[in-house]
Amino acid sequence: MTYQREFTQYLNVALVGVGSHSYRNILPVMHYLPIRLIAICDVNEELANATAAQFGCKAYTSTAEMYEKEALDAVFLCVSPQAYPKLTLEAFEAGLHVWMEKPVATRVQEVEAMIEARRGKVAVVGYKKAFMPSTEKAIELVNSEQYGDLHSILAVYPMSLPPERGDILTNFKPTNWLGNASHPLSLMMAVGGKVEALTARTNARGTGAIMLDFASGAVGNFHLASGPQPIESYQFFGGSWHLEIENSLRVKLQRGIPHVYSRTHNYVPAGTDTGAVVWEPQNCLATLENKAEFTQGMYGEMKYFCDCVLEGRQPELGSLEFALEITKLYEAALLSEGKTVPIST
């Protein structure tokens, strides 16, 4: 871990959008990034001025004016999904690399327009669940030889499909399905890879299950749950091992124990090569590992963006292409109505 004041190479950046989410989650992470915050922009002039004064930078209400007056390398966008397409294209036109919070658009064609306008610039979307330390561990283990082929994924998340689904797509209406379904979907894709087809089966309340057919042959079950928090969990079943992420924080790898039915009598055999392994934050310490900026993946996604820009490489996880696939899944779930919808390539 390197603090902002310790880096030797920096990006000059601006932040567009300093509302509650940005103030609570985006700005604090910047203490740990190789950036210099040059300017802040928000349509709320009073909010922009107050925030800029706190962080010792300039305030703007116009992105066009900010891009004209400031020498920037990149911009961080934290606005509404309706505003991202225009602001992202404007930033690319200004020659800037772009990090943006999810969701980046309300329809597939808007993401496609971003990809076309990117012109070699780095763009990363903040799918935090894909960048959580627990997800990174899942990716590492699922891709190990010992794990065996990934057979299936179960994701349990508090979510429902909205009524009048066709109207949502026709009128570009933002919904909770747009805003938060990308969390479990991005995690499932980060571990399981590309999805080829989707089938949504829900009841009148919009809860039920969304089945995902992965290109690898694995099957995913995104269970739309209801009930009080915490309710979020993920399980990855392989040929030899399986792994569970509970409440985003607790990672448990089940390696099994030697077992002969009707003969095995000891569930804790000798040695450390079998049984379960558990990882979880140490909440007894004033440390970084148990802070939400790190456990929830926000540091990971923003640091990844900075590293890609400084190293001159295009991102893979959280790229606009990744965002395009997530948006296709969002649309397919609204269209499914119990039928299987192929995900176009």
- For 294-310, what is each residue's pLDDT tens digit? 999 999 999 999 999 99
What average pLDDT score do residues 187-198 get? 98
Q: pLDDT tens digit string along 205-228?
A: 999 999 999 999 999 999 999 888
User: Is residue 229 very low, low, confident or very high in pLDDT (cuts 50, 70, 90)?
Assistant: confident
Give the tokens for residue 328: 């296709």
Domain count along the chain: 2
Instruction: Tell whether 25 and 117 lie within a shared domain.
Output: yes
pLDDT at 167 over 80: no
User: Is residue 162 very low, low, confident or very high in pLDDT (cuts 50, 70, 90)?
Assistant: confident
Ranking 36-40, 71-75, 287-291 by mean pLDDT, the lowest is 287-291
Instruction: Tell whether 85 and 14 lie within a shared domain.
Output: yes
Instruction: Tell whether 92 and 146 lie within a shared domain.
Output: no
b/e sequence 190-225, b meaning 16+ C-beta within 10 Å: bbbeebbebbbebeeebbbbbebbbeeebbbebbbb
CATH code at position 19: 3.40.50.720
CATH code at position 143: 3.30.360.10
Ranking 50-64, 153-167, 305-319 by mean pLDDT, the lowest is 153-167
Question: Which range marks the domain in which residue 67 is found?
Answer: 4-129+308-325
Q: Is 265 exposed, middle or buried (0-12, 13-18, 19+ CB in 10 A)?
A: exposed
Query: Is residue 302 situated within a structural domain?
Result: no
Instruction: Tell whether 137 and 281 lie within a shared domain.
Output: yes
Nearest residue to 147 via CA among 254, 241, 235, 273: 241
| Predicted local confidence at residue 259, as pLDDT | 86
Instruction: Tell whether 159 and 206 lie within a shared domain.
Output: yes
C-beta neighbour count of 315 within 10 angstroms: 20
Instruction: Tell whether 83 and 231 lie within a shared domain.
Output: no
Instruction: Tell whether 116 and 135 lie within a shared domain.
Output: no
Mean pLDDT for all residues in the chain:
95
Instruction: Tell whether 136 and 261 lie within a shared domain.
Output: yes
Query: Is residue 169 situated within a structural domain?
Result: yes
Please say whether the beta carbons of 147 and 141 come within 8 A.
yes
Instruction: Tell whether 210 and 290 lie within a shared domain.
Output: yes
Instruction: Tell whether 105 and 180 lie within a shared domain.
Output: no
pLDDT at 173 over 70: no
pTM of the entire structure?
0.95
Instruction: Tell whether 114 and 143 lie within a shared domain.
Output: no
Q: pLDDT tens digit string along 268-290?
A: 989 999 999 999 999 998 999 99
Instruction: Tell whether 205 and 61 lie within a shared domain.
Output: no
Please give the backbone phi and psi of residue 208, each rounded to the nearest 5 degrees, phi first.
155, -130
